[in-house]
Structure 1
């Protein structure tokens, strides 16, 4: 949006310019408390509060302007005011217009597991060759993705966008905004079954990315996932990844099997943009996605508690099996939204933990009790207290659960006790 007049911004958003302003916006925000000079505040309706009510507060804080529903468009103060009947849709339309203005190559990444790590890896592989903007934190929804695009500066050459979903139609909505040149699906697994009902439905929801790619675009897909085959098209290029060797000379800061697989997916996507990754990949993984934290006493905490499902649990346990030098400890919590087979999935993870050589298994939550661990507690707070007492020098401690369990307090407690 940089360089756009108020009239251009309003037109791109499909809104009505109520009052003009000076200059152009630098980025879009939805939190009025974070607004400053040069920002476009977008007032979105919420479950309890309509963000449009804070339009005057945003203008008083120096915002370039506000994009709000018509009933909030009488906001006083200096700055542009744009009225839109549907502010969330206007936000998406504005992002799509800016994506087109940028002319950057766009890679969209989704999948049941590994999409965030793959996004981080791809951004790092592209960075030596292109000016890259990638999804930050969890800005991977119909709100976060437009904000990422709108925050990209005019000289951006590649956008690496993560796409999240919990139900059918949500990936399609994001694809319509991002208009990707490359669509990457990391895998398909038993996630969101409570909402989608079957693994086939999960595959179909993820495959909206393939279905809605423009003709001539590239789909990067796992070689071992037949559930996606029914969704392929003749007018796009399909590239597969799996167990192929990584490029010679490519140096990665990890050895785990699942991260190596994510790296292969990222390499395939980079090549689709004409970039051949080489050298050492300097990547900083997003928070709580497998960070290894070294503590005194040769204790290692693997903080992987941003989310969990059966696929990612198995991968994390397999990595623990090969990476731990001392005792293997796993603090595992509930995996949510798994539908009617949720207890079976948890029991199978308990069996897998034992097969992976876990010597101390602490479970957190009612579903995780099905793992039949050595110790079981109901809450993350209880686990934080207990695990501090159980961990000893030389241990490697995996901490993993669905986001709703809040298991990061265990990793934090171990760091504080060190």
Structure 2
């Protein structure tokens, strides 16, 4: 079946699913293969659960006219998503970067969504499967779309751009994330800047944070650029969109001006100077897309972080900065320094392994342990095999996994203590707070 023919079915059955357990009546099921599963084996279950059709790529799975046979189910999903995207003549903004992608995406969605009919990536659907699903969820009448793109190898961002075909894009930063897959920081620069290269080829527009190392030079090939930066005295600069950092204790406050020179302040629920760039990006793009400044302020102030990203949790008389969704050397360093600057008489850091660092892993874990030791923390607790050697050498408390950590944690009687909990997704440090 051709993409055009499949699209006609999609228009009648626009709820696309790849998990037979999440089928809704009338949905379109795609049998995707994974490392440990074959979606073709679940096609019958999806139809029994109410799916209208099942798109499969194994002839043996076909049992009736409700099975649609294609050469490759994943490729069919991706091509269908690209075809659907091409029906929209609207700004499609791609976001990638080493740190802050999701927070920036959510802030930007809050700002632009306050003024436009907007669709944005949900959760972390930012890979070769998630991006197509995000595109296929775009409803009629849309005015703006925001597509988050993640990658841990070169050529992945370029591939996602060929599916989503963004008209606009931004890179949050270049940092020490997925060093193993990218082959070092130079590989990260090359991989992330694939977004810039796509925009340059397609006459798209890049939003560039001048304050972030590498970005201005990497964006050089892009003809259409909008720059933004931090300024102590925001002006009506024709060159840059400017935002002022007012405070970070404990939450980030910013100021910016409108085209008449009037000053606006926004008090966010985000902690740490590292979140300033995320807020600044949302403000800058909000201004570029002519969102009224009052709406920008309300959107920034209404956004409350969740999903273990700079999330504040109050429990049993203690305060937890839960930042356990992911970690790399760049974000870990910023989190430690931010936590050290926060007010609080008693502070404890619980730090989990940073994964996918390859040959840089030992040294990067040593650097983080050294940084933690330099702060005035009451205790530093490390979790995971990567931290084991350095933690024991330095005399820090160490646990092999989060289960062992929780056994110890549950025996303690903390009161009035501030905790930073940060580690890579694979460590799942949030489990320490599960009752």
Q: TM-score range by the shorter chain?
A: 0.7 to 0.9
Picking from 12, 21, 27, the partner of 1:24 is 12
Is the contact between residue 158 and residue 195 of structure 2 (CA under 8 Å) also seen in structure 1? yes
Look up the match of 1:402: 424
Look up the match of 1:307: 326
Look up the match of 2:247: none
Which 10-residue stretch deviates more, 140-149 or 382-391?
382-391
- C-alpha deviations, 1:375-410, integer Å up to 9, x for none? 111111111122233452111111111111121111
Picking from 202, 205, 220, the partner of 2:207 is 220
Q: Secondary structure at the match of 1:49?
A: coil
Picking from 279, 283, 299, the partner of 2:303 is 283
Look up the match of 2:282: 266
Q: CA deviation at 1:225?
A: 4.1
Look up the match of 2:42: 54
Q: Distance in 2 between matches of 1:328 and 1:120?
A: 29
Q: CA deviation at 1:334?
A: 0.9
Picking from 228, 236, 252, the partner of 2:268 is 252
Q: Distance in 1 between matches of 2:413 and 2:386?
A: 23
Count of aligned pairs between the two proteins: 398
Q: Secondary structure at the match of 2:385?
A: coil
Gap change, CA 1:173 and 1:284, over 3 Å in 2? farther
- C-alpha deviations, 1:239-295, integer Å up to 9, x for none? 243454142233322342111221112223334434355222222434111211011
Gap change, CA 1:285 and 1:92, over 3 Å in 2? farther
**TM-score between both structures, scaled by the size of structure 1:** 0.88
Picking from 373, 395, 404, the partner of 1:382 is 404
Is the contact between residue 33 and residue 58 of structure 1 (CA under 8 Å) also seen in structure 2? yes
Q: What runs of 5+ residues in structure 2 fail to find an aligned partner?
A: 232-242, 245-254, 257-263
Root-mean-square deviation (CA), in Å? 2.4
Q: Secondary structure at the match of 1:325?
A: coil
Q: Secondary structure at the match of 1:307?
A: coil
Is the contact between residue 137 and residue 286 of structure 1 (CA under 8 Å) also seen in structure 2? no
Is the contact between residue 123 and residue 132 of structure 1 (CA under 8 Å) also seen in structure 2? yes
Look up the match of 2:164: 178
Q: Secondary structure at the match of 1:249?
A: strand
Q: CA deviation at 1:367?
A: 1.9
Look up the match of 1:3: none
Q: Distance in 1 between matches of 2:183 and 2:47?
A: 46
Q: What runs of 5+ residues in structure 1 fail to find an aligned partner?
A: 1-9
Look up the match of 1:120: 106
Q: Distance in 2 between matches of 1:361 and 1:14?
A: 58
The answer on 1:348 being equivalent to 2:367 is yes
Gap change, CA 1:138 and 1:114, over 3 Å in 2? same
> For 1:360-375, what aligned pairs fall within 5 Å after superposition?
360-369=379-388, 370-371=390-391, 372=394, 374-375=396-397
